[in-house]
Amino acid sequence: MAGSRSFNTRRLHSLLGVIPVGLFLLEHLVVNYFATKGAASFDNAADFMGNLPFRYILEAVVIFIPLYFHAIYGLYITFTAKNNTSRYGYFRNWMYLLQRVTGVITLIYVSWHVWETRIAAAFGAEVNYQMMADILSSPFMVAFYLIGVLSAVFHFSNGLWSFFVSWGLTVSPRSQRISTYVTMGVFVALAIVSVRTIFAFI
Amino acid sequence: MSDKTVKFLIMRQDTPETAPYEEEFELDYRANMNVISALMEIRRSPVNAKGEATTPVTWEMNCLEEVCGACSMVINGKPRQACTALVDKLEQPIRLAPMKTFPVVRDLAVDRSRMFDALKRVKAWIPIDGTYDLGPGPRMPETKRQWAYELSKCMTCGVCLEACPNVNSKSDFIGPAPLSQVRLFNAHPTGAMNKEERLNALMEDGGLASCGNSQNCVQSCPKGIPLTTSIASLNRSTTFQAFKNFFGSDRV
């Protein structure tokens, strides 16, 4: 007996959210931050990432397969929950709800984002500073990107908290409380990075 | 007798299949009333607030001192035991409803069989029966006994299942209470001899992995059992157990 399928799937879901999807998110935010140093700097970095060897294999193994496995299984988890924050308004119960809400928003946002950049690139569009500046020239898209990116960053940070619980790294109430502070610190730091990046395109 | 009264809004249901309905009751106030004594008052003269004769309200009770878990119900929106719900400390009208996570038998009485089935599933006992006397088991340090006593306070009342967003009709999650019992029996020196059986049972469908960390259980437990600490600790144990199961181990 090596555990049931649902045990292994759930643990895999937890792992993939951090490695590699979470690591990819960090890499993506860091590379995009070049936009704050000007269009040429961003184009240079995007060019480097876009011309990495084994690009399609890297994209599939590090990004798309784990990302969509995490997303689709996450949807299943979300829809088997019966949220009850109105009756039990505890902090962690709100975080539980927010984790599910931001997960769904992130999935919608990321799918649109992939369509608008990677799929567009496959049809001949060039992924560069100008592309993002054009997308973010509409105030609606700025709002959509802000909500989407902040959801993704929150989902990652709070997901780190539950990753630590799910694998048994933080067991005692005190360690879980400290982990809440640390992961919320991660959220604030990443939120600053991502909002600054978005405004660098406007 | 003062003319002070107490109002109750009770969610009633005549059979497991029929639709629930709400009925209002108004009783004379007495000092130090609790929800059970109020329900007994209604049973003595089953007349609703409109003055109509009605059937007495059905509920379960046993110990009347919050150790058996039988009288659990949703009181003013929160699941708890009716015996320790003092009328003086409750906002009026006092709303009573059954714990809907469980099948309703009648009115406020629910069927908590699933919890006892879950305890069987995770082997929440210590097997000591045999064909000959095995002698005394290993001793337990006193500090550990005191710690384990807290976990042993679980009365299978069902409040943690009612509060858990992952225990519902769409999910097969067994709930927090039986998980914590695995930790209790695995911590016992004799129980530890069958540790792996219980951990493997927890790794079945609807087991430990179905927890979503909303932590409502630990906030709601009337006995203050550290349920989420138990869950996180079992997460750690099952992580090791999963590796052992997959790769094998030379540890006996």
Q: What is the pLDDT of residues A100-115, one digit of tens each?
A: 999 999 999 999 999 9
Whether the model clears a pTM of 0.80, i.e. scores above it, the answer is yes
Strand partners, B34: B86
Where a domain ends, among B110, B139, B169?
Answer: B110
Would residue B252 count as lying in a domain? Answer: no
Q: Which band of pLDDT confidence, cut at 50, 70 and 90, is reported for residue A1?
A: very low
Asked if A164 contacts B215 with a C-beta cutoff of 8 angstroms, the reply is: no
* B15 is a domain residue: yes
> Do B181 and B124 touch, CB atoms closer than 8 A?
yes
Residues A176 and B215: their CA atoms lie apart, in Å, by 11
Check whether residue B82 and residue B188 sit in a common domain.
no
Give the pLDDT confidence score for residue B94 in this predicted structure.
98
Residues B237 and B221 in one domain: yes
- Decide if A176 touches B, using CB distance below 8 A: yes
Q: Which residue of B has its CA nearest to A1?
A: B245
Query: Tokens 């719900």 — which residue?
Result: B85
Give the closest-approach CA distance of B200 to chain A in angstroms: 6
Q: Which residues contact B105 (CB under 8 A, 6 or more apart)?
A: B16, B58, B111
Give the CATH number for residue A45. Answer: 1.20.1300.10
pLDDT at A124: 87
ipTM of the shown complex:
0.93
Type of residue found at B25: F
Tell me the three state secondary structure of residue A24: helix
- Interchain contact, A88 vs B220, CB within 8 Å: yes
Whether A7 sits inside 8 A of B209 (CB atoms) is: yes
Report the domain count for chain A. Answer: 1
Residue range of the domain that includes B161: 113-247
For residue B47, give the DSSP letter.
Answer: B
Closest CA to B117 of B166, B187, B159, B172: B172
Average pLDDT estimate for B161-188:
97
Mean pLDDT of A142-160: 98
Considering the domain boundaries, does residue B12 fall inside one?
A: yes
Q: Which residues of A touch B242 (CB under 8 A)?
A: 2-3, 7-8, 11
Same domain, B198 and B80: no
User: Is residue B241 included in any domain, yes or no?
Assistant: yes
Nearest Cβ partner of A165 from B171, B220, B232?
Answer: B232
CB contact under 8 A, A4 and B171: no
* Dist CA A74 CA A51 (whole Å): 31
Structural domain boundaries, residue A17 = 5-200
Shared-domain flag, residues B105 and B200: no
Span A190-200, average pLDDT: 97
Q: Which amino acid is at B195?
A: K
Which of these three, B110, B125, B155, is where a domain ends? Answer: B110
Subunit contact B233:A79, Cβ cutoff 8 A: no
SS3 content of chain B, % helix, strand, coil (to 5): 35, 15, 50
Question: Are the beta carbons of A90 and B216 separated by less than 8 Å?
Answer: yes
Q: Which residues pair with B104 in a beta bridge?
A: B110
Whether residues B167 and B235 fall in one domain: yes
Q: Does residue B242 sit at the A interface (CB-CB below 8 Å)? A: yes
Note every long-range contact of A133-141, with CB atoms under 8 Å and residues 24 or more positions apart, other chains counting.
A133/A39, A133/A201, A133/A202, A135/A201, A136/A198, A136/A201, A136/A202, A137/A202
Yes or no: say if A164 and A172 are a contact pair by the CB < 8 Å rule.
no
Residue B52 and residue B171 share a domain: no
- Number of domains within chain B: 2
- For the stretch B106-144, pLDDT in tens is 999 999 999 999 999 999 999 988 899 888 889 999 999
Shared domain for B226 and B165, answered yes or no, is yes
Q: Are residues B241 and B134 in the same domain?
A: yes
Q: Residues of A at the annotated binding site?
A: 28, 70, 113, 155
Q: Is A170 on the interface with B (CB under 8 A)?
A: yes
* B233–A168 C-beta distance less than 8 A: yes
Residue in this structure with the two tokens 């509060």, named with its chain if needed: B163
3-state DSSP: chain A helix, strand, coil percent, rounded to 5? 80, 0, 20
Question: Within a domain: residue B170?
Answer: yes
* Judgement on whether residues B42 and B106 belong to the same structural domain of the protein: yes
* Domain of residue B203, CATH code: 1.10.1060.10
- B-chain CB neighbours of A80 within 8 Å are 166, 168, 170-171
Per-residue pLDDT band for B2 (boundaries 50, 70, 90) equals low
Residues, chain B: 252
A32 contact B CB<8A: no
On whether residue B43 sits in a domain, the answer given is: yes
B205, A6: Cβ pair inside 8 Å? yes
Supply φ then ψ for residue A83, to 5 degrees: -70, 140
Taking an 8 Å cut-off on Cβ atoms, the answer to whether B208 and A87 are in contact is no
Residues B164 and B204 in one domain: yes
State the average pLDDT over residues B181-203. Answer: 96
Q: Range with the lowest mean pLDDT among A117-131, A188-202, B230-244?
A: A117-131
Instruction: Please tell me whether residues B158 and B189 are part of one structural domain.
Output: yes
Label residue B1 by pLDDT band (50, 70, 90).
low
Cα nearest neighbour of A94 on chain B = B214
Are residues B225 and B167 part of one domain?
yes
CATH number for the domain including B34? 3.10.20.30
Show which of B110, B128, B153 is a domain's final residue: B110
Min Cα separation A70/chain B (Å): 15
Average pLDDT, integer, range A147-161: 98
